[in-house]
Amino acid sequence: MSSPHLNLIETFPNPHPNREYEIEHTCPEFTSVCPITGQPDFATITVHYVPGATCIELKSLKLYLWAFRNEGHFYEDVTNLILDDLVAAMDPLRIEVRGVFNVRGGISSTIRAAHSRDS
Amino acid sequence: MSSPHLNLIETFPNPHPNREYEIEHTCPEFTSVCPITGQPDFATITVHYVPGATCIELKSLKLYLWAFRNEGHFYEDVTNLILDDLVAAMDPLRIEVRGVFNVRGGISSTIRAAHSRDS
Amino acid sequence: MSSPHLNLIETFPNPHPNREYEIEHTCPEFTSVCPITGQPDFATITVHYVPGATCIELKSLKLYLWAFRNEGHFYEDVTNLILDDLVAAMDPLRIEVRGVFNVRGGISSTIRAAHSRDS
Amino acid sequence: MSSPHLNLIETFPNPHPNREYEIEHTCPEFTSVCPITGQPDFATITVHYVPGATCIELKSLKLYLWAFRNEGHFYEDVTNLILDDLVAAMDPLRIEVRGVFNVRGGISSTIRAAHSRDS
Amino acid sequence: MSSPHLNLIETFPNPHPNREYEIEHTCPEFTSVCPITGQPDFATITVHYVPGATCIELKSLKLYLWAFRNEGHFYEDVTNLILDDLVAAMDPLRIEVRGVFNVRGGISSTIRAAHSRDS
Amino acid sequence: MSSPHLNLIETFPNPHPNREYEIEHTCPEFTSVCPITGQPDFATITVHYVPGATCIELKSLKLYLWAFRNEGHFYEDVTNLILDDLVAAMDPLRIEVRGVFNVRGGISSTIRAAHSRDS
Amino acid sequence: MSSPHLNLIETFPNPHPNREYEIEHTCPEFTSVCPITGQPDFATITVHYVPGATCIELKSLKLYLWAFRNEGHFYEDVTNLILDDLVAAMDPLRIEVRGVFNVRGGISSTIRAAHSRDS
Amino acid sequence: MSSPHLNLIETFPNPHPNREYEIEHTCPEFTSVCPITGQPDFATITVHYVPGATCIELKSLKLYLWAFRNEGHFYEDVTNLILDDLVAAMDPLRIEVRGVFNVRGGISSTIRAAHSRDS
Amino acid sequence: MSSPHLNLIETFPNPHPNREYEIEHTCPEFTSVCPITGQPDFATITVHYVPGATCIELKSLKLYLWAFRNEGHFYEDVTNLILDDLVAAMDPLRIEVRGVFNVRGGISSTIRAAHSRDS
Amino acid sequence: MSSPHLNLIETFPNPHPNREYEIEHTCPEFTSVCPITGQPDFATITVHYVPGATCIELKSLKLYLWAFRNEGHFYEDVTNLILDDLVAAMDPLRIEVRGVFNVRGGISSTIRAAHSRDS
């Protein structure tokens, strides 16, 4: 699956393609809306990956995450959707997306999804 | 074993059933009663699992945990009982339930129980 | 005003009545129920006072706070009610009651009410 | 001044109008939009007040703060605007509104505005 | 080896003997006396185990740890002694005892001893 | 009032008697016994004072606080008793004794007592 | 005194000039150079003020603080210089500038300078 | 690749060449400039390695890291470049360089690159 | 009184003598020796002052504090001695010296001494 | 290699030689002198080991670490030297020595060296 925001993600050529190394971006300002109640949800989204031929351009990642602001998304779904989009946009060697969602009904939630070229 | 509250747990179809990913819900507001002294106990219950065909619906998890509020339960037993209920309700690939219980008699306690389809 | 639980509070004679000194008890395990939704609320209740002729007996304070467990109370009201009960039970020189309530709807709340013999 | 969201704030009668006491609500999930760049801003809004005849109803405060979500506001202005609305809605004895805004351009900002019936 | 306090440990039947799960009790109030200087020592004792047929009864663990209060014990020895007693009392599948001792002479110390049925 | 341990406190001449300055000693290893249940209590005792002609010798303070180890004392009483002993031993210009007692029955307690030559 | 960077500071009209309220900007990314050794210094600069007719425009504050990047400045001097510039640029009712400088030679330093229209 | 600053790195003979051991240097004061916007970036650079025949001289590491101060570098590139320089300068058995970059556009970033003689 | 190290303190002219402002230097690496046991003591020394005509030169403060390294000093005495030296060296408007000494015999100690031109 | 202080280390017979268990001593008060500049260095030294026939006597470890106080040592060298001395003194099954050195020139350093009978 991919989201309609996929085309917002820009990449640049990996400056050190001969070495496997790790990149992690953490955005504590992700917000979307509950598809059932219409109430805002808030999360910290972390993207951790080993680049293949390309890397995510940081400003485009910011714009991409903002695009979810007023859409309805379930926690489990949106975390996997972001993972799918990032895989489609840059085909990394390995990638993990984590969403740490704020307390709702006295319960906080974390979703963690990963992808690897090998698997 | 299963508790009389099992039927409170509602599930929804796993939106990404082809990928193994992790979900963690943390509820710092669990309370039950000591079966011997009748005194309230307080714990943080954490549910960490890899979903199979279904996921726990978050609001139903809240209502399920509230159902223990005025019942008598030992730490070791209630942690395993919650695990049994969640396994029965959604048959996850892997699941761990942790209960971190407040200080009683100068001692704090943590119980950690896990289940896997493979084992 | 006073609550029906007032009689649960026991006191003992202040062992140093000739000196003004401060006593603070903090209970992070207060829970009651929302009078509208029936959902549990959780708070840390702190009692800070300068004793007059008597002090609160600690075990009775615990039992007194437990008595609210399954009753419906608004934050603002219950904090003032506890203050009224403690004033009625021991007539301290000065007393402050603070209730720090867990996040509900993304908002946490603190209520702070005080009483002094002079005022 | 008052915002168009003023009418979202609901109040209930102060249950202890004869005693001056303090109420503080903290919402770490405030978000609005920069009026110049259109980029989202994030803040923790804290409302600290001594009630007069009425108190803020907590759920209405949540809805009121959400109403700013997609509007353009400067930090200094929106903090004062929220203060004006709350004064208009419940005429408290004393009130302070604080906005703690996330880092932008390497700088974080706090705005603190207060109102008192006496002044 | 076993201590003279071994008989203070009471057990109850493991309520879920068919599942390997973990129990951890942490007591930050352990104190004994230096066998050489007679000065008090203070430690946090943590007991982490996978139960066999029985579990430690929590109140008896408290009384057992108190029994060392006025005895002379070296750090290394008392940590192993507590492990030996717990193994003798309940024959767990696996168990670890940790003692984290307060600063003496500018140095803090941790002793960690473990036992497994397999080894 | 004074305790039987008063004579354990040793003093030395204040090396700067012409200047009012502050001295604070913090001992997180105070323990005594509950006079009712016989169970150990644990506290951090802090002594904060402005010396007069003499200062407390640090090692003697340690020995003095140890002397309470196996005696029965209520929180409110022992904090005031330590204050009385220190006033008797060195007649400071101003002094405050704080006892921060560990959780018992889910409640922690702080006692704070002060003395001044002027009052 | 004023620095050559004074003209970088832009202001905008205070949106609530009839109320005294507080604004605080914190920049943990200030760096300049030691005038003696030429080595970089690092500090967190905090500007706390009550606006008069104008407020500091946030982006211009960022550019203003960057302007010191490769200049030689002593801690005491640069903190006062920033204060002088901000007073000259916007004539606030009250203002305080704090510089918290990183460890050099095992010593960290804080400089705090304030200005008020009244004094 | 290597940077023009490679020659700033000085080494000294490993004093214990017969044992594999680990050395970690952490510099929270790294700053360079964004190659696109010209705005300063700030990072904590950590160098973790097992020395071969030589070790990095600490003062030269400081001077080497300062050399990037006014140059334009992307996060991913500069972290790998520092790794390349350190490998070229001292041929360690194993080495990892981590760059933890401050928040830009609401997102913080960490880059982690490693090298081993074996791989 | 003054120490033999007084002459190590160097000063420079206060660059902003017309404004009262605050300077604080914190050195967590102070060490001297117990005059009785010969054992090393460790402290964090903080110097907080409002300068008169001169300021302390930072490097000379470092050398001055090092000069106590192998001398015997009591906590109360050395804190006042440092204060006396700094007053003698630069005659500040107001100054406070704090020494926070590491745990000895289970007790940590803080000494705080101040001087003002007015008093 | 061994230091001239090796003979300061005293040992006592391992009280539980039939079980492999871990002992960790942490001393945050290590200080020596830079061999080049003569300036004091400060570190936290941690010794983690599995004892063979003997254990380190704690007081002798304190005296041993003090012996380096006024000697010139490089970080990398002194950490390995302490390891060598401890291996020579008690021939443990496994041992690791860590030195965490305070910030110098804006950089903090950690050295970690280990020894095992097997390797």
Q: How far is C29 from chain A (nearest CA, A)?
A: 15
Output b/e per residue, H85-111; b: 16+ Cβ within 10 A.
bbbebbebbbbbbbbbbbbbbbbbbbb
* CB contact at 8 A, B115 and B47: no
**J112/H16 Cβ within 8 A:** no
Residues G69, H35: Cα–Cα separation, whole Å: 17
Q: Which residues of E touch B113 (CB under 8 A)?
A: 16, 19, 21-22
Mutation test of the interface with chain G: which of J104, J108, J109, choosing the one with the most G Cβ atoms within 10 A?
Answer: J104
Q: How far is H101 from chain D (nearest CA, A)?
A: 11
Residues H106, I6: Cα–Cα separation, whole Å: 50
| pLDDT tier, A39 (very low <50, low <70, confident <90, very high otherwise) | very high
| pLDDT at residue H119 in the model | 67
**J76/H23 Cβ within 8 A:** yes
Active site residue D27: no
**D102/H102 Cβ within 8 A:** no
Looking at the annotation, which residues of I are catalytic?
34, 41
J119 has a pLDDT exceeding 70: no
J115 has a pLDDT exceeding 70: yes
- Which stretches of C6-114 are DSSP H helices? 58-66, 75-90
Q: Which residues of H touch G71 (CB under 8 A)?
A: none
| pLDDT at residue J118 in the model | 80
Report mean pLDDT in 10-residue bins for chain B, 119 residues: 94 97 98 95 98 97 97 97 98 98 96 92
Indicate the DSSP class of residue C62.
Answer: H
| Residue among C83, C75, C116, C90 nearest C13 (CA) | C90
A1 has a pLDDT exceeding 80: no
ipTM given for this complex: 0.95
**H69/G40 Cβ within 8 A:** yes
Percent of the residues in chain B that have a pLDDT greater than 70, as a whole number: 99
Q: CA separation (Å) from A1 to F56, H98, J18, J33? A: 73, 33, 59, 62
> Of the listed C27, C34, C84, C91, which one is catalytic?
C34
Q: Is E98 helix (H, G, I), strand (E, B) or coil?
A: strand
Nearest to D106 among G24, G27, G55 (CB): G27
pLDDT in tens, D29-88: 999 999 999 999 999 999 999 999 999 999 999 999 999 999 999 999 999 999 999 999
Rounded to 5 degrees, what are φ and ψ at E63? -65, -40
**H106/A61 Cβ within 8 A:** no
Q: What mean pLDDT is predicted for residues G47-68?
A: 98
pLDDT tens for the 119 residues of chain H, in order: 799 999 999 999 999 999 999 999 999 999 999 999 999 999 999 999 999 999 999 999 999 999 999 999 999 999 999 999 999 999 999 999 999 999 999 999 999 999 999 86
Residues C25, F110: Cα–Cα separation, whole Å: 7
> Of the listed F27, F34, F84, F91, which one is catalytic?
F34
Rg (CA), chain G: 14
Q: How far is A50 from chain H (nearest CA, A)?
A: 10
Q: Could you say which residues of chain F have pLDDT below 70?
A: 119
Q: Which residues of C touch A103 (CB under 8 A)?
A: 103, 106
Mutation test of the interface with chain E: which of J19, J90, J97, choosing the one with the most E Cβ atoms within 10 A?
Answer: J19
- DSSP per-residue letters across A21-40: -EEEEEEEEEEEE-TTT--E
Q: What mean pLDDT is predicted for residues A1-23?
A: 96
| pLDDT at residue F118 in the model | 79
C119 has a pLDDT exceeding 90: no
Nearest to C66 among B29, B40, B69 (CB): B40
The residue of chain H nearest to residue A22, with distances taken between CA atoms, is H112
Contacting subunits of J (3+ beta carbon pairs below 8 A): E, G, H, I
| pLDDT tier, G118 (very low <50, low <70, confident <90, very high otherwise) | confident
Q: CA separation (Å) from A67 to A32, A38, A71, D6, D102? A: 9, 16, 8, 28, 19
E15 has a pLDDT exceeding 80: yes
Q: Would you state the structure tokens that stand for residue F41, as one six-digit string?
A: 């209590």
**B102/C40 Cβ within 8 A:** no
Mutation test of the interface with chain A: which of D42, D100, D101, choosing the one with the most A Cβ atoms within 10 A?
Answer: D42
CA angle B77, B81, B83 (to 5 degrees): 125
pLDDT in tens, I64-99: 999 999 999 999 999 999 999 999 999 999 999 999
Taking any CB pair shorter than 8 Å as contact, residues of chain G touching chain D are 14-16, 19, 21-29, 51, 55, 58-59, 61-62
Q: Which residues of I touch G74 (CB under 8 A)?
A: 15
Q: How far is G6 from chain D (nearest CA, A)?
A: 19
| pLDDT at residue G76 in the model | 96
| pLDDT at residue G119 in the model | 67
Nearest to J29 among I40, I66, I69 (CB): I40
| pLDDT at residue D100 in the model | 98
Q: What mean pLDDT is predicted for residues C29-37?
A: 96
**I102/J40 Cβ within 8 A:** no
| pLDDT at residue E119 in the model | 67
Q: Which residue has the higher pLDDT, J1 or D112?
A: D112
Mutation test of the interface with chain A: which of B20, B22, B97, choosing the one with the most A Cβ atoms within 10 A?
Answer: B22
Q: What mean pLDDT is predicted for residues G88-111?
A: 97
Nearest to F40 among E28, E39, E69 (CB): E69
B11-13 and B40-50: which strand pairing?
Answer: unpaired
Q: Which residues of J touch G103 (CB under 8 A)?
A: 103, 106
| pLDDT at residue A118 in the model | 79
Mean pLDDT (chain H, rounded): 96
Q: Which residues of E touch J96 (CB under 8 A)?
A: none
| Residue among D20, A60, J119, E30 nearest C96 (CA) | D20
Rounded to 5 degrees, what are φ and ψ at F76? -65, -40
Instruction: State yes or no: chains I and H have 3 or more CB pairs below 8 A.
Output: no
* CB contact at 8 A, J10 and J4: no
| pLDDT at residue E109 in the model | 98
* pTM for this entry: 0.96
C54 has a pLDDT exceeding 80: yes
Residues E69, E66: Cα–Cα separation, whole Å: 5
I119 has a pLDDT exceeding 90: no
pLDDT in tens, I4-38: 999 999 999 999 999 999 999 999 999 999 999 99
Taking any CB pair shorter than 8 Å as contact, residues of chain D touching chain C are 14-16, 19, 21-29, 51, 55, 58-59, 61-62
Q: What mean pLDDT is predicted for residues E24-52?
A: 97
Q: CA separation (Å) from B13 to A74, E116, G30? A: 12, 41, 51
* CB contact at 8 A, B110 and E17: no
Q: What mean pLDDT is predicted for residues J43-71?
A: 97
Residues E8, E12: Cα–Cα separation, whole Å: 13
Q: Which residues of I touch F27 (CB under 8 A)?
A: 106-107
Q: What mean pLDDT is predicted for residues A89-111?
A: 97
| pLDDT at residue I1 in the model | 75
Percent of the residues in chain G that have a pLDDT greater than 90, as a whole number: 97
